[in-house]
Amino acid sequence: MAKMVESRGDLDLSGDDLGLLLSHWRPVPSGEHGESRTTEGAICGGNKPSKWEIHATSASESTNDRRILTSETEFMHPCGPRLAPELSFLCAAARACRHRGATLLDVAIAMAVVAALLAVLVPMLGSGMKRSGMMVSANNLRTLGQGYAAYEASWNGRQFSLIRSEMNNYNGCAQYSGAACPPSLILGADAYGGLWGYWIMGSRPECSGYPGSCGNWNVVVPLPIGGNSATYGLTTTGSCFFPNARGVREYVSSRFYDPLYYSPNDTALYSSLRARQFNDAAEFTLPTDPAQPFDSTLSTYAYSPAALWNPAVLRAPSQGGFQAPGRTTCPQAYTTPAAAQCTYPAAKTRMIERRWCQDPPALLDPAAPTEAYTFNAGRASRPGTLFFDGHVAFVYIAQFELDDATLRAQTGTDGLWSRDTAFGNDGLWGTSSIDGVRSNPNFLTTGGITGRDLINAP
């Protein structure tokens, strides 16, 4: 990546007294006993002065009743002479308890109660936080989907993509950059006016001032789907990983590091970005913490690169199989299809959480200590998924795997994702699996936008 230039007082009581008083005061309508005057006194005959206002009624009324005034309601004090005998006994017990020390048995019981409460509440708290994160992520995905729909409405239905149909006339970046100024993926401007992005410098005079090189071609294309699988099998390059890039971001946000692009359940990444980038007003901020994950510039979410390549690229095996993009191999590869060409809008993913966010085995993958587990690293992973019809669901990888196996059994050859690309049978990130699962919904969907990632809508 290269850079271009009240309460009305505090009730001071012991725990026993407080529980007793709050259990037995009863509301009394304001003014029921006539005029009142403010004084300070002791509660229940104790020795601790109260900072609350204690009111005594006038002599013409019941002068022995004492009342405490809160912000809106007056309460009858429980220790006046009109109390029933059992309540008077409770008040006396409270006074006695105030002077009694705690025994070892009391402490042991208290500790046991606290431990029992923690055993119940901590899992509940964790579960509640997970559900809350899922709700936030689902709302993020819906909002992003609405932004893409607005973009498409502005561009005659065309999906956002940096590739151009004219690229079909050339075999890769070297040829294309000699004939035109290649597109670059722009992240945004920093607080000092520097513009950051993945630039590709063309050789023509009108684009000679651009920095960068054809090394960034693999970031501009939806996903580097040709070449050697050993090189690309664990890739996080490709414009599909940048839903927050300039060009489409403007439809939902003004900042690259808007929390909208990150799931709270993507814990390691979310926490590291919250420390600075989330609060920075600049359009783009470089990570300054060397301990941050390498891909800290990437969103939690990735849109479907399969849906951005022309459907001819990821042809089903029964129709001839995969065709690498290029003038001589697949001359229509760089023609991005319109969203309306989606054949199964309720079953084709548009965007997915690319990392294992819900109950991962650990925050980071031991095989790649700076990275979280990928979304397809285990059958128990349940990524948040936006479909082309706009609905969001959390679908287990086990379900994607089952539907793929079902279709392959029915057709004999064609699965829901393509195994004849440069990624091979492992697919994207398949070698990072912890339980042997091989599943590539969203990224390698057979047929691209005309295919589906599930047999039926979730």
Q: Is residue 2 part of a domain?
A: no
Q: State whether 416 and 367 are in the same domain.
A: yes
Q: Please name the residue ranges forming H helices in 209-288.
A: 217-220, 229-232, 267-274
Tell me: the pLDDT tens digits for 358-372? 999 998 888 877 788
Do residues 40 and 150 both lie within one domain?
no
First to last CA, the chain: 39
Statement to judge: residues 73 and 152 lie in one domain: no
Final residue belonging to a domain, choices 54, 77, 98 = 98
Same domain, 238 and 312: yes
CB 351 within 8 A of CB 140: no
Residues contacting residue 216 through CB under 8 Å, at least 6 positions apart: 1, 184, 185, 198, 199, 200
For residues 381 and 306, membership in a common domain is answered with yes
Residue 6 lies in a domain: no
Q: Is residue 419 part of a domain?
A: yes
Q: How many structural domains does the chain have?
A: 2
Instruction: Confirm whether 118 is domain-assigned.
Output: no
Q: How many CA atoms lie within 13 A of 112 on its CB side?
A: 6
- Between CA 292 and CA 297 the distance in angstroms is 10
For residue 153, what pLDDT band results from cuts at 50, 70 and 90?
very high
Asked which of 56, 74, 98 is the last residue of a domain, the reply is 98
- DSSP state, 37? E
Q: Are residues 249 and 362 located together in one domain of the fold?
A: yes
Kindly tell me if the per-residue pLDDT of 4 is higher than 80. Answer: no
For position 248, what pLDDT does the model report? 95
Same domain, 91 and 165: no
Examine residue 125 and state whether it is found in any structural domain, yes or no: no
Indicate yes or no: pTM above 0.85.
Answer: no
User: What is the side-by-side strand order in the sheet with 2-4?
Assistant: 2-4, 195-198, 185-189
| Predicted confidence (pLDDT) per residue in 246-298, tens digit | 999 999 999 999 999 999 999 988 888 887 788 888 999 877 655 555 455 78
Task: Choose the final residue of a domain: 98, 117, 147.
Answer: 98
Determine contact, residues 274/217, Cβ cutoff 8 Å.
no
Range of the domain at 41: 15-98
Please tell me the predicted confidence (pLDDT) of residue 52: 35
Whether residues 54 and 199 fall in one domain: no
How buried is residue 161: exposed, middle or buried, by Cβ count under 10 Å (0-12/13-18/19+)?
A: buried
- Count the Cβ atoms, other than its own, within 10 Å of residue 403: 22
Q: How many CA atoms lie within 13 A of 36 on its CB side?
A: 21
Arithmetic mean of pLDDT, 411-437: 93
Per-chain mean pLDDT for the chain: 78
The answer to whether residues 92 and 146 belong to one domain is no
Q: Does residue 190 belong to any structural domain of this protein?
A: yes
Domain assignment of residue 181, yes or no: yes
Residue 443 has pLDDT above 50, yes or no: yes
Q: Is the pLDDT of residue 205 over 80?
A: no
Indicate whether 255 and 381 sit together in one domain.
Answer: yes
186 and 43 part of one domain? no
Non-local CB neighbours of 175 within 8 Å, separated by 6+ positions: none
What tokens does 54 get? 């204690």
Exposed, middle or buried, 164 (CB in 10 Å: 0-12/13-18/19+)? middle
In a domain, 10, yes or no: no
Predicted pLDDT at 335 = 96
Tell me the pLDDT tens digit for each residue of 301-335. Answer: 999 999 999 999 999 999 999 999 989 999 999 99
**261 and 141: one domain?**
yes
